[in-house]
Amino acid sequence: MYNTSPLDETFSVYKDEFKTRMKKIFKSVASSITRIDPPPARVNVRTRVGKVLGTWAAWGLYPDESIQRWGEIVSDSGSLDDLEGFQEGAEAAAAVANGEEG
């Protein structure tokens, strides 16, 4: 959505509205993750979210600052650098884009 430029000029209103809701969505996801039991399942879900964010970053779907903020919200430590799966998602997306997988 970040890199899109649709012909319909009113689309930016929807894009902006969706972007403002993403923080709330990721806070809800983070809250849900903390309630998952047992802890290994919690790590698994957090890693999956990290992969999604890594993929979005590689695709350039959202500004880097937004991805950074959302990753910090769901990361156990509050740092995107510590979010498991992020790098893996980014590398997988890059490999597909380069025709290395798929």
Read off the pLDDT of residues 41-75 as tens digits, 9 standing for 90 and up. Answer: 999 999 999 999 999 999 988 889 999 999 999 99
What is the residue-averaged pLDDT of the chain? 87
Over 60: is that where the pLDDT of 6 sits? no
Q: Of 12 and 72, which is predicted with more confidence?
A: 72
Q: What amino acid is encoded at 23 in this protein?
A: K
